[in-house]
Amino acid sequence: MLHRGNVHPKKVWKPEDGGVPAQVAIVDNAVYVITLSGKRLWRLPIDASGVGVGSATSYYNGAYGRLRALVKVPGADQLWMGSSGNGTSKDRILKVTIG
């Protein structure tokens, strides 16, 4: 049951299909999602109506360990992501160019 003002989710996926979302950033016409167990960045284009999303594309699948933090860099076409290297002391802040 939806309460007034609430809407159904635009995208739902199972954890085994790509991880548990950790953080979300909406930039221009796309939604970016990072996942802990999935160890990837997802990009979902926002459709022309501005209401729905298209097919998700994943990036960096396992390349940097668990992705934990995501922020749009003000004034730049970039995202910063934080990763943890699963105990390998390879924790990083990663710069991703978008656009």
pLDDT digit string (tens) for 29-83?
999 999 888 899 999 999 999 888 999 999 999 888 889 899 999 999 999 999 9
Instruction: Please give the residue range of the domain that contains residue 25.
Output: 16-97
Facing residues of 95 across strands?
Answer: 80
Say what the pLDDT of residue 38 is.
87
- Domain membership flag for residue 1: no
Query: How are strands ordered across the β-sheet holding 30-35?
Result: 21-27, 30-35, 40-45, 57-59
> How close are the terminal C-alpha atoms of the chain, in Å?
37
Residue 86 lies in a domain: yes
Quick check: 88 pLDDT over 80? no
Number of domains comprising the chain: 1
Decide if 65 is inside a domain.
yes
